[in-house]
């Protein structure tokens, strides 16, 4: 009886898992089809400057949008991500959640977010495990889709593009400076340059 019970439980478990996988494949197919058709599903709960409108699309919250524009301006004025975060904290400017705990990562996320220019990149992440619902970043394993001008923009496209170029420029400078050369002078005046990887 015990062996039969364990076998039946195992069998039911296998059926349930197979059904979950089948449902997940159907859902994934539907989601990818909607991506191809350019249908954008907005997640705005943790986004400064936008709130969901009655039609489900983003509506600009002007008071918060001013903060976003301020961040873009500070970056183009030459401030680093850390300095921008420090200034926002010092000025008591609040994030979407009402706190002032700004970090360089938060500032970077705002500067990189294409939604502020009125666009949407679809399938930035995808699910790798339908049972655990584990999502991972899409680094080219699946197609990405971009929908232009699908909602009101807070940042002008020219400003957004200039910020992306500046992010790339500063990023390449940082990569080059990761390898620095140190000059060592020995007794007797003998000199040697040594590359140090940081």
Range of the domain at 179: 38-197
Res. 187: pLDDT tops 60: no
C-alpha closest to that of 113 among 42, 62, 171, 174: 42
Look at residue 150 and tell me if it is in a domain: yes
Instruction: Tell which phi-psi region holds residue 3, choosing left (phi > 0), alpha (psi between -120 and 50) or beta.
Output: alpha
Q: What is the CATH number of the domain that holds 114?
A: 3.90.1750.20
Residues 6+ apart with CB under 8 A from 48: 64, 67, 68, 95, 96, 110
Domain total in the chain = 1
Q: How many CA atoms lie within 13 A of 11 on its CB side?
A: 6
Look at residue 125 and tell me if it is in a domain: yes
Which tens digit of pLDDT belongs to each residue from 124-163?
A: 777 776 666 677 787 878 888 888 999 999 999 999 999 9
Average pLDDT score, the chain: 80
């Amino acid at each position: 009886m015990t062996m039969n019970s364990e076998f039946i439980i195992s069998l039911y478990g296998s059926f349930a898992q197979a059904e979950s996988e089948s449902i997940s494949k159907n859902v994934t197919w539907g989601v990818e089809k909607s991506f191809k058709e350019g249908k954008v599903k907005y997640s705005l709960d943790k986004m400064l400057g936008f709130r969901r409108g009655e039609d489900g699309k983003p509506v600009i919250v002007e008071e918060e949008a001013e903060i976003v524009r301020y961040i873009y301006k500070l970056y183009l004025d030459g401030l680093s991500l850390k300095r921008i975060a420090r200034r926002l904290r010092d000025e008591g400017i609040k994030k979407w959640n009402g706190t002032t705990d700004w970090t360089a990562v938060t500032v970077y996320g705002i500067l990189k977010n294409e939604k502020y220019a009125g666009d949407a990149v679809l399938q930035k992440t995808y699910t790798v495990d339908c049972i655990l619902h584990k999502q991972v970043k899409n680094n080219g394993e699946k197609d990405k889709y971009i929908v232009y001008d699908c909602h009101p923009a807070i940042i002008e496209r020219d400003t957004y593009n200039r910020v992306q170029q500046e992010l790339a420029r500063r990023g390449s400078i940082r990569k080059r400076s990761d390898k620095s050369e140190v000059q060592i002078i020995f007794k007797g005046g003998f000199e040697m340059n040594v590359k140090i990887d940081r």
